[in-house]
Amino acid sequence: GQNIDQPTEMTATEGAIVQINCTYQTSGFNGLFWYQQHAGEAPTFLSYNVLDGLEEKGRFSSFLSRSKGYSYLLLKELQMKDSASYLCAVLDSNYQLIWGAGTKLIIKP
Amino acid sequence: NAGVTQTPKFQVLKTGQSMTLQCAQDMNHEYMSWYRQDPGMGLRLIHYSVGAGITDQGEVPNGYNVSRSTTEDFPLRLLSAAPSQTSVYFCASSQDPQINQPQHFGDGTRLSIL
């Protein structure tokens, strides 16, 4: 079966750095997405990786290793507004998105 | 700049009732989809459409119907509501799911079945 694993919850301090991991086992791979979802709101797109390596976008970076079935989202200079759930999703061989359950990130002052 | 619009935002139904969740997008996206989101689980695909007149089943289609008569609209129908269908429903659209186009989500419909 297809599976995406993320930690359920993480806590970090304002101004610090946090890394949210995502491991996947899917039938084929056509890219990996990260989305942010604030409580009670819709998911919003953060990043897309299809090749190995690090993609940087301001305070957020996303890394992919296809051979290891592994990705992480790195958030720097954490702000209180970064408190949200972070969803990892893989586009499988049929171009269907398989979603992880999400990681709830709690930022403490 | 509306994007994806879902109505209603909240709904309470009794078991056995039927209803339609509305979804409209103004971005001329070909691909539209419906998800449900339950606590502790990832988004699960109910139905999707790759263009007007074309629909297909996702991971959890039972108890739901869809139609796509226009590019803009993609309603989701609950045929006979059951408590197991209590969930948050999201409609999403994208230009093309086969390339790196992100999904644009509506604000969701919070549905409770009593």
Whether residue B97 lies within 8 A of chain A, CB to CB, comes out as yes
Does the pLDDT value for residue B100 go beyond 80?
no
The per-residue pLDDT of chain A, averaged, comes to 95
Which region, left, alpha or beta, applies to residue B16 given φ > 0 means left and ψ of -120 to 50 means alpha?
Answer: left
**Cβ-nearest to B102 among A45, A96, A100:** A45
pLDDT at site A94: 84
Q: Least CB-CB distance to B100: which of A35, A48, A87?
A: A48
pLDDT band at A1 (very low <50, low <70, confident <90, very high): confident
- Longest Cα–Cα distance of chain B, Å, equals 41
SS3 call for B93: strand
Report the pLDDT value the prediction gives residue B40, as an integer from 0 to 100. Answer: 85
Q: Is B107 within 8 Å of chain A by CB?
A: yes
pLDDT above 90 for B82: yes
Residue identified by tokens 């897309």 is A48
Per-residue pLDDT band for B1 (boundaries 50, 70, 90) equals low
Segment 57-76 of chain A within 8 Å of chain B by CB: none
Residue contact B105–A31, C-beta within 8 A: no
CA dist., res. B91 & res. B21, Å (int): 9
Residue A53: burial class (beta carbons within 10 Å; 0-12, 13-18, 19+):
exposed
